Amino acid sequence: MIRTYVGPMFSGKSDSLITIYNKIWNKKLVLAFKPKCDSRDGASIKSKNYDVEIPAIYIKDLKEIKKHIKGKNIHTIFIDEAQFLTGDVKELVKLSVVDEIDFYIAGLNMTSEQKPFGIMPEILAVSDTVHTITGFCQECNKPSTFTYYEAKKKEDVLVGDEGYISLCQRCLKKHMLKGKKK
């Protein structure tokens, strides 16, 4: 099974992973992964809302998962910030179907420019279940589904929280219109 959680920044995607992790009885059957480029929380999946951390292994490509589970009795894998990973999602499907590993994956489905983010469209296509999690608009408190970057970007991908806000469609429209007038 591949269960994926998507939504804007600050919506609680990592919280969802931690909630599931907390319910697992035998943590020895679990591994977690996160992208090498996201070193904000060290080698763990963290949440601002929980004291619990999930120890994680840094990877860059999905094919690296196989070497970390070789010879181990792993039943569940967590992946956070999956949009930053590379690789062929067939690796996930094979591990899920053939090796009967359950995956819980979280990531941004869109960039702050509202484009599909990295390999997330492919992960969503092979997911058994997709949960879209909304945050709260940081301007009007309505449900938010968009991430917006308030400054000019020098790079396409800026890892971190600084400069990003979560917005509803109406507030995103205001920011986009304001940006065109500059």
For the chain, the three-class secondary structure string (H helix, E strand, C coil) is CEEEEECCCCCCHHHHHHHHHHHCCCHHHEEEEEECCCCCCCCEECCCCCCCCEECEEECECCHHHHHHCCCCCCEEEECCHHHCECCCHHHHHHHHCCCCEEEEEECCECCCCCECCCHHHHHHHCCEEEECCEECCCCCCEECEEEECCCCCCCCCCCCCCEEEECHHHHHHHHHHHHHC
Residue 139 annotated in active site? no
**C-alpha to C-alpha distance for 56 and 42, rounded to whole angstroms:** 9
Of 64, 81, 113, 139, catalytic: 81
- What amino acid positions are annotated as catalytic residues? 81
